[in-house]
Structure 1
Amino acid sequence: MVVGERRINGHLLARLVEVGADERPYYHALGRAISGLVLDGRIPTHTRLPAERDLAAALGVSRNTVTAAYTWLREHGYLDSRQGAGSWTALPRVGSGRAAFVPDTERIDLGVAAPPAIGGLEEAARAAVERLPAHVGGQGYTLYGLPELRHLIARRFTERGLPTTPDQIMVTNGAQQSISLLMELLVEPGDGVLVESPTYPHALDTARHLDARLRITGVGPEGWNMECVVDGFRQWRPRVAYLVPDFHNPTAALMAERDRATVVAEARRAGTTLIVDESVTELAIDGAEPPPPMAVHDTDGRVFTIGSTAKLLWGGLRIGWIRGTPPMLDRLMVLRQRFDLASPIVEQLTVAELLSDVPGVRAERSRDLRRQRDALATALRDRLPDWRFVTPGGGLVLWAKLPQPVASRLAEAASRHGVRVAPGPIFGAEGTLEHFVRLAYTMRPEVLADAVRRLAHAHADVAARPTSAPAPGELYV
């Protein structure tokens, strides 16, 4: 990224910082507030900050106060400056570890958001095998997916308010393959790709592999700051944007319908193609249904919607899909042939059996997740009351804010206590998010309670040592 390429004006920065008028010294509180925005990924690194006089006017303070705040940021490594070039955000130290998807069977694994198989899967698999003879006379390659499965997926989109026909669906080997195929088709080296921070780490890896320029817009537990999102589209005009609007991974935020309409409208103005990840859209817990898919606002075929059975049914069923226009699906199919030709027949038949009763599957999954989420939240409030979180209304994970930026150190200490967590930097594009950990609630309530007990001991170990910048290390999802 070119230094200082993105700018944030004084009025927007003034609205983002949260500093009480009575906090003293004010410059110190202002500096810490801005550094917190950088650490949490809400202001990307390399963002040019407003001139001192502009921020002072927006905040209603003296220029000397802002000068002192910028000096504090510079001394602590959160600001770089050049004579005549201005000042832009930075990080004191960036960890070098990368996320590795390695489920841990020797520890209580809160790092992988993968629930056990839904009830009835074995019966569905047996029914699929019974239907197999109708298919074995052919070649076994269903290039776009089994017609009956494509019909069921299209029907579900229609039920959710997005009219869809089977020829708009291509079955894939999971959401990750869908993301990779779409980015491979749409992104050239050097293209801008707008991503949320935090976000799904394997989407970041795919964009990096394609030598894309990552453009960051922040997401907090309360959701998206749409002024920043709009600003990102208008400043950068990214080629592609990857977004998770439904029970966002990892914050569990849910994007409002009016904001979805705004995103699609801004993408249209910027010439941006949207990849919308709906991997957990069916996992509402408290009865609050997500709005209709973002693609309901699409008028020119620029929104691709991806889904997966991994979270709703079972991770062992590697079946996903892409919804798009038939001509674009044709292009994706040609590209896909570099990797594989089709998804397995038996798995598709099994998924078709289960998706014939989506309401029943959702009810079972929601009931289990509610018990597990509530057990985790209760244990956290009891044993770690200084951790802050918004109780998720859906999805599989809880995004907890720590009182100190020690997430990577906490993950190391937790591992020694027999529990595995996902530290925030895994989900950030720039080594930020050390204030956060992601905790999956996909285990039995008594196991989750034991995991939090161990986490409390690990947190006490970390708190007993002097705080410092996070050290680089191996990171886990």
Structure 2
Amino acid sequence: MSTLLVSDRRIGGTGLATVLGSWRRPGPAYAALADAVRRAVLAGDLPLATRVPGERELATALGVSRTTTSGAYGLLRDEGYLVSRQGSGTVTALPEDRARAGDALPLHRPLAADGVVDLTIAACPAPRELHDAARRAVDALPRHAGHGYAPLGLDVLRAAIADRYTARGTPTTPDQVLVTTGAQHAIALLVRTHAGPGDRVVVEQPTYPHAIDAARAAGARPVPVPTGRDGTDLDLLESTVRQVAPRLVYLVPDHHNPTGATMSAEGRERVRALARRTGTVVAGDEVLTDLTLAGPEPASWSGDGRAARVVAIGSMSKSHWGGLRVGWLRGPADLVARLALARRSADLGTAVLDQLVAVELLRLGDGPLADRRDRLRAGRDLLARLLAERLPAWRFAVPRGGQALWVDLGAPVSSALSALALAHGVRVAPGPAFGVDGGLEDRLRLPFTVEPDELRRAVDGLALAWAALGAPGQGDAAPVAGGLPGATAGLV
């Protein structure tokens, strides 16, 4: 038995051939083709509930006999990775046991016990400037006390955020900014306002797990579009938007969580054009934008700011401190006003003192950010070196920004590895935690935000867990190379 979802879309023979890449290997061709399709499903490159091309169409696209495609499809049906229904064609699926395992994987567990390195949360400690910023905020509090309710956010903070966007090339006025209680609040508010039961919300696969949670909490159905070292598959994004008519699209364009990829300037313009053409609201999560560790800072997600259906989400949590629950949403003034009204059912405004602390930190400009980037750069390089030494079979790209490596384990064992790792003193989030439908079992996210000694202990624990697992694929060592995913020298 397999998990079968209602099919929203179809991939053609040429498209599937592109996804599979160089799939041929020694042995029966049908088995090699089945292996390639299976890997694509587990990695999320071929989303669940996607209608695959017919056997004849795929055979033509791949330049093989129909016997090969028929044999591959037959094997995949027997395993549960393809399911055929009369009138619906053949769609991708997961075997029932694997689907259940993916659904049962919580990302956040109880706080780590002594001696356990917790890598489930990618977050740095507070900057040294926080204490003085908090003291100045307390001194400023009498000028902003009043009744304490500000559903849109304090004027002084909205102006500071607007100035940041303007400086990045997106002219912004304070009435285009809504202050929220963290970026997650902004995501949930945006989803709840635009989508309800049965509506589609398009997300990347993999993506930030709590964006998926927000869609499901609203009763909406998240529809995945693959993303990887080269960024989001924009062709498939466009076709998905055309086919499923989503109420909202949620993307992470900068130093993507978890893959680390950054969307090109051309890609951003293409997405903005898609929003204008279809009338679909497209949200770009920019919480990691300030954490560029190499090369230029990414272009502003909102461009010149004139795309009425494009929304940007930001936060203080990754750039400064997770305990400072201040986020924001930048969009058209009428949307900002509507969201401020919608929030009243659950939230009457972000804490005033927290907002004033955010103002003081933003006034410091790049100072706290420079220290944070130095820390992350050192952690990234250390983790890459440790993995090359202790776990050379694992493959990954060294990202030019963000907080984590997205590792290809070479085998669908992420959940098993995460369970074993805890017994060896390290807690990690398995790949399925970042997907819509239980795939991504060959991937693992490893943040480099903890102290160097903890990072060393974490890799030691992972190496022991990998050995206990039987170390599948350990024979092929993969060197670590620098660079942006999708650029020269990057490895997946």
TM-score, scaled to structure 1: 0.94
CA distance in 1, matches of 2:386, 2:67: 46
SS at match of 1:99: coil
SS at match of 1:337: helix
What is the identity percentage for the equivalent residue pairs of Structure 1 and Structure 2? Answer: 47
**Amino acid in structure 1 at the alignment position of 2:122:** A
User: Residue by residue, what CA displacement relative to the aligned partner does 1:321-378 show, whole Å, maximum 9, x if unpaired?
Assistant: 0111121111111111111211111111111111012221221111110011111111
1:455-466 counterparts in 2 under 5 A?
455-463=462-470
SS at match of 2:21: coil
Question: Which of 219, 229, 245 is residue 237 of structure 2 equivalent to?
Answer: 229
CA contact (8 A) 1:237 1:271 kept: no
Query: Aligned residue for 2:78?
Result: 75
Query: Aligned residue for 2:155?
Result: 147
Q: 1:7 to 1:239 in 2, by over 3 A?
A: same
User: Residue by residue, what CA displacement relative to the aligned partner does 1:6-63 show, whole Å, maximum 9, x if unpaired?
Assistant: 1111111111112355643222111111111111112111111101111111111111
CA distance in 2, matches of 1:144, 1:417: 47
1:133-212 counterparts in 2 under 5 A?
133-136=142-145, 138-212=146-220
SS at match of 1:458: helix
Query: Aligned residue for 2:8?
Result: 5
2:429 counterpart of 1:384 = no
CA contact (8 A) 2:226 2:233 kept: yes
CA contact (8 A) 1:221 1:389 kept: no
CA distance in 2, matches of 1:391, 1:414: 23
Q: 1:418 to 1:21 in 2, by over 3 A?
A: closer
Query: Aligned residue for 1:314?
Result: 321
Query: Aligned residue for 1:61?
Result: 64
CA distance in 1, matches of 2:384, 2:274: 37
CA contact (8 A) 2:272 2:307 kept: no
Question: Which of 256, 280, 304 is residue 272 of structure 1 equivalent to?
Answer: 280
Question: Which of 113, 118, 129 is residue 120 of structure 1 equivalent to?
Answer: 129
Question: Which of 352, 356, 360 is residue 363 of structure 2 equivalent to?
Answer: 356
**Amino acid in structure 2 at the alignment position of 1:341:** L
Query: Aligned residue for 1:442?
Result: 449
**Amino acid in structure 2 at the alignment position of 1:119:** R
CA distance in 2, matches of 1:236, 1:267: 14
Structure 2: gaps (5+ residues): 473-492
Q: CA deviation at 1:228?
A: 1.6
CA distance in 2, matches of 1:354, 1:21: 54
Q: 1:29 to 1:165 in 2, by over 3 A?
A: same
Q: CA deviation at 1:222?
A: 2.9
CA distance in 1, matches of 2:378, 2:418: 25
CA contact (8 A) 1:27 1:68 kept: yes
CA distance in 2, matches of 1:351, 1:298: 24
Query: Aligned residue for 2:406?
Result: 399
Q: 1:453 to 1:98 in 2, by over 3 A?
A: closer
Structure 1: gaps (5+ residues): 466-477
Q: CA deviation at 1:287?
A: 3.1
CA contact (8 A) 2:171 2:304 kept: no
Query: Aligned residue for 2:415?
Result: 408
SS at match of 2:287: coil
Q: 1:263 to 1:300 in 2, by over 3 A?
A: closer
CA distance in 2, matches of 1:5, 1:268: 22
1:275-354 counterparts in 2 under 5 A?
275-293=283-301, 295-296=302-303, 299-354=306-361
User: Residue by residue, what CA displacement relative to the aligned partner does 1:411-466 show, whole Å, maximum 9, x if unpaired?
Assistant: 1111111111110101111000010111111112222112101110011111279x
TM-score, scaled to structure 2: 0.91
Question: Which of 224, 234, 245 is residue 253 of structure 2 equivalent to?
Answer: 245
Q: 1:102 to 1:149 in 2, by over 3 A?
A: farther
CA distance in 2, matches of 1:217, 1:66: 25
CA distance in 1, matches of 2:176, 2:87: 53
CA distance in 2, matches of 1:292, 1:458: 41
Query: Aligned residue for 2:32?
Result: 29
CA contact (8 A) 2:84 2:90 kept: yes
Q: CA deviation at 1:392?
A: 1.3
Q: 1:270 to 1:298 in 2, by over 3 A?
A: farther
**Amino acid in structure 2 at the alignment position of 1:244:** V
Q: CA deviation at 1:68?
A: 1.1
**Amino acid in structure 2 at the alignment position of 1:9:** G
CA contact (8 A) 1:183 1:207 kept: yes
Query: Aligned residue for 1:213?
Result: 221
User: Residue by residue, what CA displacement relative to the aligned partner does 1:214-258 show, whole Å, maximum 9, x if unpaired?
Assistant: 211011133222222222122222111111111111111101111
User: Residue by residue, what CA displacement relative to the aligned partner does 1:274-315 show, whole Å, maximum 9, x if unpaired?
Assistant: 12111111100113311222x216644111111110111111
CA distance in 1, matches of 2:271, 2:110: 35
CA contact (8 A) 1:204 1:429 kept: yes
CA contact (8 A) 2:107 2:429 kept: no
CA contact (8 A) 1:99 1:201 kept: no
